Structure 1
Amino acid sequence: MSTIVEHQVEQNGVRVMDTQCPFCSVQCKMQIIEERGAGESRPSYQVIPKPNAASEGRLCIKGMNAYQHVLTGERIEYPLLKKDGRFERVSWEEAYEAIVRRFTQLRSLYGQHSIGLYGGGSLTNESAYLLGKFARVGLRTKYIDYNGRFCMSAAASAGVKVFGMDRGLTNPLSDIERADCIILAGTNIAECQPTLMPYFTRAKEKGAFLIAIDPRETGTTRMADLHLRVRPGMDATLANGMLKVLLEEGLTDEAFIQNRTEGFAELKEHLDSLELAEIAELSGVPEGLIRKAAFAYGKASTGMIFTARGVEQQTDGHMAVRNFLNLILLTGKIGRPGCGYGAVTGQGNGQGGREHGQKADQLPGYRLIENPEDRAYVAGVWGIDPAELPGKGVSAYEMMQKVHEQEIRALFVMGSNPIVSNPNANFVEEGLKKLDFLVIADFLMSETAQLADLILPATAYLENTGTMTNLEGRVLLREASRPASGEAKHDWQILCDLASRLDRAAFFPFADAEEIFEELRLASRGGTADYYGITYDRLRQEEGVYWPCPEPGHPGAERLFEESFPLASRKAYLTPVENHLPKELISPDYPLFLTTGRVLTQYLTGVQTRRSPALAARDVESFVEIHPSTARKYRLEEGTLVAVASRRGEIYVRCRFSSDIREDTVFVPMHWGDTQNVNKITLDALDPTCRMPGFKVCAVHVTPFLLNEMA
């Protein structure tokens, strides 16, 4: 309670709450002022941006309205147990007893790995850490993963392989305006992280040349000097074209290649074998524009490359990112001011959420669960024998396959909505309905929660204290600023309570989030994501601290790889990348590519933003964006309902014409559920390395809804 009072001032009917936005990875700071006038039944709210290093005191429309979904009357405020198909209010003791009874029965019948845990990239570091520990120590199951698998896994795995480390940005945001050339590949920052846009506009004002790679025109591409309208799924091929030009035109940094990389000979041999004309044909980008982009980046003395879901959510996402990292390494644009790489994290804690153990193959500190030394170290911190730790599980979508096959018989979901966020969502829904027991911990009713056997009310961002790690790798402290709503409990509290009832209380003795962070510091010590030098007191004083931060007096690593890379050779890897066609190609029956993404007013599966009246009013429903010429070909009229169908199912959305999209491509946002859930039709093929689904490319056809219905 003391921390709540500290960050909430209430006087004369006015409550002032200091907090930060719960949405994207910028984690903008803000102050919410709640005022209740005399005789007024409802308070009014004012939101004021607060100065901070990342957003520089800016808020976007989502942040300005982020209080609405927390303070709405739609909160889940007490445990709900489904009886005869209807949810009924029960006590926390009844809820816990139901979980322990069912989990114990299922483990007895089907083994300890019959229970799965599914987390989220918006959980605090403390909750994500504890969820991983609860899986391995509380339940001793190998099956745990999280929705961040669909966000960052391609870039994360590429960064680990090429650089030896995965951190969202290799350098601070302030370096952006020091770059002479910036490549934005598959990222729509104008709508997804709009408070970062001034960094890019300032860079342009200083003469930077901006290149945007996207099949459609967006607010981000309109800012660019050069827009490469790539065919969906062909980003790696486009990068090959740029690499070939750099090599042939002598636009490489030979000293950097010699001293800081390995694998150049193999990459050169591969690029020599490619034809630029063929690359242009495959990628859909004219040869002249590929050359222009390569010259701009190659000749620039400083430069940065950013990738996001457009490049990463593909069945070759891992290798596609590695090819963009090849561009950086061939030109030596890393480890110095104005140079570097940025994987633009989507979720609020997408960075920290994957560092401390809720990913199938990881232990805290970015340690690997199959590495004997890593297992021994973390087991020592946790006070168990390393042999007690289970092995590696499977990725998020593969967990849904295990659910469908009934190898996983019960699922505990914390802060996620897998029925909307997973590909091939009809398959996922069928699987979840087969479960013997589904538990959801959340603070709003989601499409997945509707299927649950038991719902546990969790606190929202204004109510719980914890750390978040932004896209820079800067650890921030977000402190509670109001009491919990109703009977809601913190995520970590729920896990500690359950551990106690499963006779594992000794391993979960935590009284508050700071105590959990103290153990996290120790568990991460010496790991790649080393938080040991970071404390709550330090975060309060300094606003945020970059990791790795190995000792209390360490300033934190603002810029990475200045002298070497954390690999055995101390050198980064250059990698030949094949021209890769999407797993599903267009055909006469399915003649259009579908790609997915976000819109400015919505966030992830929309559970929070669709509960905000101000945001919902701006985008009341989903849509399909289609080129007017394509629409005429298929007898589609602007503003009418259409059916968008793939081999997996169909959805019904409003038709929206735009000349800013390729004629062979349509776009549907990802924020709606039910009959507008675009993931009912997306492809479930996975990247072989990082297990990222190929959300960004599948084949569809679009027909007028009424004609489809009559047929």
Structure 2
Amino acid sequence: MSLFAQQEQVATDSLHVIDTQCPFCSVQCKMQVIEDRSASDGKSVYSVVPKPNQASEGRLCIKGMNAYQHVLTGERLLHPMVKRNGRFERMTWDDAYELIVSKFNNLREAYGNHTVGLYGGGSLTNESAYVLGKFARVALQTKYIDYNGRFCMSAAASAGVKVFGIDRGLTNQLSDIELAECIILAGTNIAECQPTLMPYFTRAKEKGAILIAIDPRETGTTRISDIHLRVKPGMDATLANGMLKVLLEEGCLDEEFVANRTTGFMELKAHLDSLDMEEIAHLTGVPSQLIRKAALSYGKAQTGMVFTARGVEQQTDGHMAVRNFLNLVLLTGKIGKPGCGYGAVTGQGNGQGGREHGQKADQLPGYRLIENPEDRAYVANVWGIDPSELPGKGVSAYEMMEKVHEQEIRALFVMGSNPLVSNPNANFVEEGLKKLDFLVVADFLNSETAQLADLILPVTAYLENGGTLTNLEGRVLLRKSGRPAPGEAKHDWQVLCELAEKLGRGEFFPFGQVEDVFNELRLASRGGTADYYGITYERLRKEEGVYWPCPEESHPGAKRLFESTFPLPAGRALLTTVENHLPKEQTSEDFPLYLTTGRVLVHYLTGVQTRKSPSLAARDVESFMEIHPRTAKKHHIEDATLVKLTSKRGEIYVRSRYSDAIREDTVFVPMHWGDTQNVNKLTNDALDPTCKMPGFKVCAVQVSPLVTEYV
């Protein structure tokens, strides 16, 4: 039976069919969750059917197939819970709101409005992200708001704005991938992080495309590549310099494009002329002939695309590293036409939309800047307040943890995030959170951060809350709600609106349904970089999704950016001189190995959701350290044994896993576990100076057996 016939059968015979989309990665695959209540024991049986859609083309990965499990778990948060004498007790919503208002107002009166901070998440819908940003600035009038997307996309986002004038995940449609003759995958393990996209790349290979993967490890993605550049952790920008130098020396430039549509070429040329290829090979650990082969493959191709993700971006020079990969795109003119472009592969489900509409410290809806007088005036007018009432720019997510530690922030409201596990230098973060006078966590599952809270608020999950999300292409999608909220759980945006009412600011939050929020978001974004004004729920229902910018309802949405100009002075993109840059923390006698972090196929972010899914958790029940066998022998590490990993900031305990697919100077630990397996107890809190991205991907560690001998 065909997929479409299966779906027709399901719609006819099932008792309850929920049309939804996966809550995990940025592809946002569409699917149906089918509940069958016909079993004689009265227990529902669930199944999942993928739905045809433009992004995943009707595919689902193992996470999407099992995503319903964490929603239906018996561990859902169902009632407000207050901590008394170290234990959580049930509380009414009215009493919870009264407690929040009392605590927040007392602290604001004593220390000022900015003593309260808000910390959001990249999986919130656009509507919830919008209300959270407005709530911070209008209801609480605090400048301190940021979100966990800072750890996902900030390097690529800031680079895109500087170089192109716009930050949108992909500058073109996913369908352009198979038109590319050469594709560079820099620091992105799509096979495990966005597996439903892999057929785009395999189809490109079938048509003769050359795939170049840049990663210190061998992964599912590198295994399908034609060229694997096994770069030293943190040396991606230097590797790009080597490729650029080859392009320049071999004349692989689109001279007309460079002359007419870019600025900065002579400065970049002078810089590249001064570099030595053998030094670059030494710094990166990649042989010069292999760098040359990769560069010529991309440079000589008529069409090509470059993708970056966390491997390049989660560095203390992540902003400039991405800009150097954008130099490759611009020097060869591979943008703004079929089969050409750049893609920042968004990690979180709404990492793109989540940063566009006000969760980020320096931004207002539509990608407007909070310190730009015209932007402030426009948004203030939409919100019905005076621009002088809007606070200024706050600080980044990790810097908020520093403010918490210093007690400049004394109360924190966390919505849809788990900062205790996702921030670097997690021991420091835990110390700070324990200093707070008041910590509120709104979530639907109990996270490591929620366990530290004074008050937990239960909110709805993806099957229950509708709204829009923006996928990695910049395509806005509508997710329907498909089941009632369990227990006393409320929608994120609903909690914020009701709390605003209790704070005496309810007139600014007159939203009765989620579509009301979106209609105000449309207006607030109108004329901004991320213009959603022409997108309506009606259009989204009919068209499946609409690309932004979309300034009018008659506009089709911009499927391909930069076909004729860039939204920068004179319409020109910016070429950038990028110095070779060593990671902030180097190995030493005491800490002789580099640690890099990342994801595994079956888990997502800090694992709060996937570790509650029996089918997913059973596949990777514990964290691990991937280590090369020769390196393991030097450090007396046996395979599949417990080891202690230590950095200058802390220590964790994980199980060893031999792999000859990783560099001998590097170990890898995934990011999905907390407590004694929380790899971010080790990671460095040094930040990129431009975008404030922490350097998750490189720190120095020592490794030792947990048990050195048996008695």
Same fold (TM over 0.5): yes
The number of residues matched between the two structures is 702
Letter in 1 for 2:19: D
Letter in 2 for 1:162: V
CA distance in 1, matches of 2:674, 2:692: 23
- Does the 8 A contact of 1:598 with 1:669 survive in 2? yes
Q: Which residue of 2 aligns with 1:246?
A: 247
Q: Deviations over 1:634-665 (max 9, x none)?
A: 00000000001100000000000000000000
TM, length-normalised to structure 2: 0.98
Q: Which residue of 1 aligns with 2:84?
A: 83
Change (3 A) 1:483 1:11: farther
Letter in 1 for 2:139: G
Q: Which residue of 1 aligns with 2:139?
A: 138
Change (3 A) 1:49 1:38: closer
CA distance in 2, matches of 1:13, 1:457: 29
Q: Which residue of 2 aligns with 1:333?
A: 334
CA distance in 1, matches of 2:43, 2:581: 57
Q: Which residue of 2 aligns with 1:4?
A: none
Q: Which runs of structure 2 are paired with 1:263-282 in the superposition (5 Å)?
A: 263-282=264-283
Q: Which residue of 1 aligns with 2:545?
A: 544
CA distance in 1, matches of 2:355, 2:190: 22
CA distance in 2, matches of 1:83, 1:39: 43
How far has the Cα of 1:12 moved from its partner?
Answer: 8.0
Q: Which residue of 2 aligns with 1:317?
A: 318
CA distance in 1, matches of 2:656, 2:486: 40
Letter in 2 for 1:57: G
Report whether the alignment pairs 1:533 with 2:525.
no
Letter in 2 for 1:258: A
Q: Which residue of 2 aligns with 1:480?
A: 481
Q: Deviations over 1:478-522 (max 9, x none)?
A: 010000011000000000000000000110000011000000000
Query: SS of the residue aligned with 2:175?
Result: helix
How far has the Cα of 1:37 moved from its partner?
Answer: 2.5
Query: SS of the residue aligned with 2:571?
Result: coil
Report whether the alignment pairs 1:211 with 2:212.
yes
CA distance in 1, matches of 2:367, 2:476: 15
How far has the Cα of 1:706 moved from its partner?
Answer: 1.6
How far has the Cα of 1:708 moved from its partner?
Answer: 10
- Does the 8 A contact of 2:478 with 2:545 survive in 1? yes
- Does the 8 A contact of 2:212 with 2:225 survive in 1? yes
Query: SS of the residue aligned with 1:561?
Result: coil
Letter in 2 for 1:196: L
Q: Which residue of 2 aligns with 1:112?
A: 113
Q: CA RMSD in A?
A: 1.1
Q: Which contiguous aligned blocks of 4+ residues in structure 1 show a shift greater than 4 angstroms?
A: 9-13
Letter in 1 for 2:27: V
Change (3 A) 1:354 1:81: same
Q: Deviations over 1:103-156 (max 9, x none)?
A: 010001111000000000000000000000000000000000000000000000
Report whether the alignment pairs 1:572 with 2:579.
no
Query: SS of the residue aligned with 1:707?
Result: coil
Q: Which residue of 1 aligns with 2:55?
A: 54
How far has the Cα of 1:569 moved from its partner?
Answer: 2.0
Q: Which residue of 2 aligns with 1:355?
A: 356
- Does the 8 A contact of 1:400 with 1:428 survive in 2? yes
CA distance in 2, matches of 1:486, 1:708: 51
CA distance in 2, matches of 1:519, 1:249: 52
Q: Which residue of 1 aligns with 2:675?
A: 674
How far has the Cα of 1:361 moved from its partner?
Answer: 0.1
Report whether the alignment pairs 1:385 with 2:386.
yes
CA distance in 2, matches of 1:429, 1:348: 26
CA distance in 2, matches of 1:92, 1:10: 37
Letter in 2 for 1:632: K
Q: Which residue of 1 aligns with 2:660?
A: 659
Q: Which runs of structure 2 are paired with 1:150-299 in the superposition (5 Å)?
A: 150-299=151-300
CA distance in 2, matches of 1:327, 1:708: 52
- Does the 8 A contact of 1:13 with 1:37 survive in 2? no
How far has the Cα of 1:42 moved from its partner?
Answer: 2.2
- Does the 8 A contact of 2:171 with 2:560 survive in 1? yes
- Does the 8 A contact of 1:643 with 1:708 survive in 2? no
Q: Which residue of 2 aligns with 1:646?
A: 647
CA distance in 2, matches of 1:46, 1:490: 25
Q: Which runs of structure 2 are paired with 1:374-413 in the superposition (5 Å)?
A: 374-413=375-414
Letter in 1 for 2:300: K
Letter in 2 for 1:146: Y
Q: Which residue of 2 aligns with 1:3?
A: none
- Does the 8 A contact of 2:14 with 2:34 survive in 1? no
Which of 401-410 and 13-22 deviates more? 13-22
Query: SS of the residue aligned with 1:268?
Result: helix
Report whether the alignment pairs 1:513 with 2:546.
no
Query: SS of the residue aligned with 2:356?
Result: coil
CA distance in 2, matches of 1:57, 1:13: 20
Query: SS of the residue aligned with 2:668?
Result: strand
Q: Which residue of 2 aligns with 1:583?
A: 584
Report whether the alignment pairs 1:636 with 2:631.
no
Structure 1: gaps spanning 5 or more residues: 1-8
Query: SS of the residue aligned with 1:706?
Result: coil
Question: % of aligned pairs identical?
Answer: 79
CA distance in 2, matches of 1:293, 1:41: 60
Change (3 A) 1:613 1:274: same
Change (3 A) 1:289 1:619: same
Structure 2: gaps spanning 5 or more residues: 1-9
How far has the Cα of 1:39 moved from its partner?
Answer: 2.7
How far has the Cα of 1:41 moved from its partner?
Answer: 3.8
CA distance in 1, matches of 2:401, 2:541: 40
CA distance in 2, matches of 1:443, 1:457: 5
How far has the Cα of 1:11 moved from its partner?
Answer: 8.8
CA distance in 2, matches of 1:85, 1:610: 25
CA distance in 2, matches of 1:38, 1:67: 19
Letter in 1 for 2:99: A
How far has the Cα of 1:36 moved from its partner?
Answer: 1.9
How far has the Cα of 1:38 moved from its partner?
Answer: 4.2
Q: Which residue of 2 aligns with 1:495?
A: 496
Query: SS of the residue aligned with 2:122?
Result: coil
- Does the 8 A contact of 1:307 with 1:321 survive in 2? yes
CA distance in 2, matches of 1:190, 1:243: 27
CA distance in 2, matches of 1:73, 1:348: 24
TM, length-normalised to structure 1: 0.98
CA distance in 1, matches of 2:396, 2:572: 29
- Does the 8 A contact of 1:119 with 1:413 survive in 2? yes
Letter in 2 for 1:245: V
- Does the 8 A contact of 1:120 with 1:147 survive in 2? yes
Q: Deviations over 1:285-307 (max 9, x none)?
A: 00000000010000000000000
